[in-house]
């Protein structure tokens, strides 16, 4: 039994019926030309042959003396985690995304390991899909991408492997099986606190610099400057998922042309799309939207837990000129990068905990619904560079499905795959009308930078 670390515990405490805290992924694949009509059933049968899951797929929550811990599920039942579904004809991508929207809306059962997998057949043109969701307390975005890759291979002849059956190369903090008492769990929590406290002076100095920068540096983005917007409302439990691939060559060409990074261009695309979307609805704020951009701090090859910091980026949605928007966004991102360059990994996490503490408390307690530290979440996760195969089926897309939250009704997550960037947009169905239009607006935003 191993205590849940403080960051992962935060994802558990934030979860409510209207705010499920799991991340997911959608694989879309085309079976080989010689595949028979029972291809999906055979694939599912082969996956179900792997009955003994590896960590973190065999870990469930257990509360002991008031402390949440991970423990091995001794009554694990694979059939309560893996499902087979079929789309009604004609099985368009629209129907597939609608199905994923519904599946992603449902909470995971905390009496079991916090994950589910769905093999979906009946997709247009004979394609099949795999949707997996895992609680954010178990994995962050980078780890989730690694878990998705477990089911695929660069070899078209490789046999299917269930993602829950592959041992992680480096075990994460949730995985070890060891005897833990409540006192041990408390001691572990205390030791983590002491590790952060040891850098308190450095972090305090950086916080003071940030306070001064708020008044003197136009590129500094503070937790108090995000305007109220359509995205910053309490959300319902219903979801709408939209996904699209964009050619990496187009994005890289725009980055080279403007001496920016690929991530800079992605943020500029999002700024343009959000500006167009809000303008059409008559909801564009006078002040620029602010994006919370998670940054991976993972320096090992582990598959579980969360190792992320975050920066706040100015999306410059108040500016009409796309090049001015790009320049403003780049300057705000570079300001944050310079600040983090002065800090160690532990100090970065402690700094972000300090500056975001008020926002976190406000999210959890709803003290001031009119204030938010950011308007939208935009996350870019590195993915596989080579084409992949799923039991011989050519993978045509790997789309992330993330988490909208109260006060941030839209989450834009993307990952690279082969020659594309795969965007997954997830939002509150009731809050954001016609959200799928953002896919076209993202393409338009990229065209303005080409």
Element (H, E) at 240: strand 239-247
CA distance 421 to 316: 23
Which residue, among 147, 176, 141, 450, has the nearest Cα to 326 in the 3D structure?
450
Beta bridge partners of 30: 394
**Is residue 243 a contact partner of residue 24, using CB atoms and an 8 Å limit?**
no
Question: 116: cis peptide before it, omega within 30°?
Answer: no
Question: 90: cis peptide before it, omega within 30°?
Answer: yes
**Is residue 420 a contact partner of residue 248, using CB atoms and an 8 Å limit?**
yes
Neighbour count for residue 165 (Cβ, 10 Å): 17
Structure tokens at 224: 């108090």
Neighbour count for residue 210 (Cβ, 10 Å): 17
**Is residue 114 a contact partner of residue 270, using CB atoms and an 8 Å limit?**
no
Residues 6+ apart with CB under 8 A from 414: 266, 379, 380, 381, 400, 421, 422, 423, 424
Q: What are phi and psi for residue 227, nearest 5 degrees?
A: -75, 160
Which residue, among 334, 344, 296, has the nearest Cα to 312 in the 3D structure?
334
Catalytic entry in 81, 104, 135, 136: 136
The question of whether 258 is a catalytic residue gets the answer: no
CA distance 219 to 333: 8
**Is residue 439 a contact partner of residue 423, using CB atoms and an 8 Å limit?**
yes
* Cα 314 from chain centre: 20
In the chain, helix, strand, coil percent, each to 5? 35, 25, 40
Element (H, E) at 425: strand 420-428
Residues taking part in catalysis: 136
């Amino acid at each position: 039994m191993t205590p849940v670390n403080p960051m992962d515990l935060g994802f558990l405490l934030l979860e409510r019926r209207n705010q499920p805290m799991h991340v997911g992924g959608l694989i879309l694949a085309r079976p080989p030309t010689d595949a028979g009509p029972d291809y999906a059933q055979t694939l599912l049968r082969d996956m179900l042959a792997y009955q003994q899951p590896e960590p973190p797929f065999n870990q469930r929550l257990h509360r002991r003396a008031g402390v949440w811990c991970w423990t091995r599920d001794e009554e694990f039942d694979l059939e309560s985690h893996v499902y087979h579904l079929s789309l009604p004809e004609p099985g368009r991508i629209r129907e597939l995304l609608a199905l994923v929207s519904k599946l992603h809306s449902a909470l995971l059962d905390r009496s079991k390991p916090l994950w589910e997998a769905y093999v979906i057949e009946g997709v247009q043109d004979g394609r099949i899909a795999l949707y997996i969701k895992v609680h954010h307390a178990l994995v962050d975005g980078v780890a989730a991408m690694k878990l998705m890759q477990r089911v695929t291979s660069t070899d078209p002849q490789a046999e299917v492997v269930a993602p829950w059956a592959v041992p992680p190369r480096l075990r994460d903090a949730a995985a070890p099986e060891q005897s833990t008492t409540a006192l041990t769990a408390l001691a572990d929590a205390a030791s983590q606190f002491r590790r952060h406290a040891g850098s308190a002076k450095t972090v305090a100095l950086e916080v003071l610099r940030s306070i001064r920068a708020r008044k003197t540096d136009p590129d500094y983005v503070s937790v108090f400057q995000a305007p109220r917007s359509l995205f910053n409302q309490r959300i319902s439990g219903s979801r709408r998922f939209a996904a699209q691939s964009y050619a990496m060559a187009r994005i890289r060409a725009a980055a080279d042309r403007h001496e920016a990074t690929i991530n800079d261009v992605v943020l500029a695309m999002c700024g343009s799309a959000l500006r167009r979307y809000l303008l059409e609805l008559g909801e564009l704020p006078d002040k620029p939207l602010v994006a919370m951009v998670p940054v991976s701090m993972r320096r090992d090859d582990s598959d579980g837990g969360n190792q992320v910091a975050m920066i706040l980026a100015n999306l410059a949605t108040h500016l009409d000129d796309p090049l001015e928007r790009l320049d403003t966004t780049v300057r705000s991102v570079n300001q944050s990068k310079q600040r983090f360059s002065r800090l160690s990994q532990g100090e970065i996490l402690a700094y972000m905990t300090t500056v975001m503490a008020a926002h976190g408390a406000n999210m959890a307690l709803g003290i001031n619904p009119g204030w938010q530290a950011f308007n939208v979440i935009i996350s870019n996760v590195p993915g596989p560079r080579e084409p992949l195969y799923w039991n011989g089926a050519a993978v045509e897309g790997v789309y992330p499905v993330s988490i909208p939250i109260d006060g941030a009704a839209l989450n834009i997550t993307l990952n690279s795959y082969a020659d594309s960037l795969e965007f997954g947009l997830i939002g509150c169905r009731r809050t954001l009308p016609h959200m799928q239009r953002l896919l076209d607006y993202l393409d338009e935003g990229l065209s303005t930078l080409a």
